Each structure stands twice: as structure tokens, then as C-alpha cells.
């Protein structure tokens, strides 16, 4: 769950717990009563005067937030449910049964390398992720981003719904993990954004263009 993960990974877990309690508009008194502990205990956790909470404490804390919110009408819980769409709303991940070279990958999708063509022979690919660029960039929760990589980073991102290619490469630029290559679907190579080209070249991530239909691309790649 997003809240539990944020608390557990936070450098200041107490402040993060307080933030979420306040987002749910729950007082320390309400939370303490629900958990059957003292208000001072809640205060100590939020002030980091107790050691960092373990998974058991964090789980009880998060469950309490949702339980209390439900009693109050469930307004905050409803917002979370609206956000929790399946990843298929944004992307599809496919793993290959065997590795192939990026050159073979480009051939299968009838693509053309616009940058870093010298890497096509040496890069090995183990899968691809088909990405709805508009939904991913505008709507997808940040916590989903690492899921784009499936089991391995040595994969190709295929972006649909692109106009210039800038947004996909900005996403790649700021990500800690990097795909092996990026495919821009159904784009005019002459209209590719100059910044996207520059990022591609600097990151040494080949940019590939293809106009093959998505159904045919999936048919060709899913046989591997």
C-alpha cells in the first residue's frame, strides 16, 4: 500500500505518519482511542521519540486511518479507490522466452533507428512494455513507474499516442532506471522534438520509429 511504503521508506517516519493522519483529518485522540493506546504514544511516534515503527505498527496505523475514515463517511478512502486503477489502464508488460538483439527487435516491428544505430547489434532485449504515453504522463501514480520494467530493465518501451517524442524522453531522463531503447509509435521522424533527440543521444538510448499497427507489433513480439 502506498501509505505504508512511504512511511517505511521515509527518512522522517514520524513526520510522514503525522502528514497522513492530518490528510485523513483524524486527531491524535481519535487515533489513540481506536488503537487502544495513549495519545502520548502517538505523539512520541510522530515526534520520532520512539524508534522507527516496525511493519506491524505501520500496518495497524494505516488500517486505523481507513477504519476511522469509513466511520466518518469514507470520503478519503473513496479518493484512494478512484486512484487504484490496474496497471493495464496505463501499460502492458511482456517478457520474452529468450533474448534477442535490438537489431532483430527493430526488424520485427519494421522500425527505423533515429539515434544510436551503432548499438543495435550489441544490445540484448528480454521484453517490452507497451505504454499509453498520455495516460502514463498525465494520470499514472508515481508509485507505478518501477512496474514499467517488469522483471528486467533490458527491455524496450513502446510509447503510443506520441506527437513529438519529447514527453517520453523527459520521463526516461528523470528516471533512475533506463530502458534499453524507446520506440515512438506512428510518429513522423521529421517531427521528432530536438530535445528528445538530444536526450536519446546523451543517454545512449536508441530512439526507434515505427508505423506498424499495434496489433501486428504484439503479434510479432509475443511469439518470442
Q: What is the mean pLDDT of the chain?
A: 90
Percent of the chain with pLDDT over 70: 96
Note the pLDDT tens digit of each residue in 37-80.
Answer: 999 999 999 999 988 888 889 999 999 999 999 999 998 887 77
Q: What pTM does this model have?
A: 0.63
Within 13 A of 59's CA, how many CA atoms are on the CB side? 3
What is the C-alpha separation between 144 and 101, in angstroms, rounded? 27
The CATH architecture one would assign to domain 87-221 is 3-Layer(aba) Sandwich (3.40)
Instruction: Find the mean pLDDT for residues 110-114.
Output: 97
Predicted pLDDT at 3: 85
Sequence length of the chain is 224
Please check the confidence at residue 82 and state whether its pLDDT lies above 60: no
Contact 162, 189 (CB under 8 A): no
Residue 95 in 3-state DSSP?
A: strand
Predicted pLDDT at 139: 79
Q: For 19-33, b where at least 16 C-beta lie within 10 A, e where not — what string?
A: bbbeebebebebbbe
What is the C-alpha separation between 105 and 125, in angstroms, rounded? 8
The CATH architecture one would assign to domain 2-83 is Orthogonal Bundle (1.10)
6: confidence class by pLDDT, cuts 50, 70, 90: confident
Set of cell numbers at residue 85: 486503477
Predicted pLDDT at 148: 87
Note the pLDDT tens digit of each residue in 167-186.
Answer: 899 888 877 789 999 999 99
Please check the confidence at residue 1 and state whether its pLDDT lies above 70: no
| Domain extents in the chain | 2-83, 87-221
Amino acid at each position: 500500500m502506498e501509505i505504508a511504503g512511504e512511511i517505511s521508506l521515509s527518512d522522517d517516519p514520524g513526520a510522514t505518519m503525522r502528514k497522513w493522519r492530518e490528510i485523513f483529518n483524524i486527531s491524535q485522540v481519535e487515533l489513540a482511542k481506536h488503537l487502544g493506546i495513549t495519545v502520548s504514544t502517538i505523539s512520541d511516534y510522530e515526534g520520532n521519540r520512539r524508534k522507527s515503527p516496525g511493519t506491524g505498527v505501520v500496518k495497524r496505523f494505516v488500517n486505523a486511518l481507513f477504519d476511522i475514515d469509513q466511520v466518518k463517511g469514507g470520503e478519503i478512502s473513496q479518493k484512494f479507490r478512484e486512484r487504484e486503477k490496474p496497471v493495464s489502464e496505463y501499460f502492458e508488460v511482456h517478457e520474452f522466452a529468450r533474448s534477442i538483439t535490438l537489431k532483430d527487435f527493430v526488424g520485427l516491428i519494421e522500425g527505423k533507428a533515429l539515434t544510436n544505430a551503432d548499438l543495435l547489434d550489441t544490445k540484448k532485449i528480454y521484453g517490452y512494455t507497451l505504454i499509453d504515453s498520455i495516460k502514463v504522463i498525465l494520470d499514472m501514480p508515481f508509485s507505478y513507474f518501477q512496474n514499467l520494467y517488469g522483471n528486467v530493465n533490458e527491455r524496450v518501451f513502446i510509447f503510443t499516442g506520441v506527437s513529438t517524442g519529447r514527453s517520453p524522453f523527459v520521463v526516461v531522463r528523470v528516471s533512475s532506471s533506463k530502458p534499453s531503447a524507446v520506440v515512438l509509435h506512428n510518429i513522423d521522424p521529421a517531427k521528432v522534438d530536438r530535445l528528445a533527440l538530444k536526450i536519446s543521444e546523451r543517454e545512449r538510448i536508441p530512439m526507434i520509429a515505427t508505423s506498424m499497427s499495434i496489433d501486428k507489433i504484439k503479434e510479432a513480439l509475443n511469439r518470442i
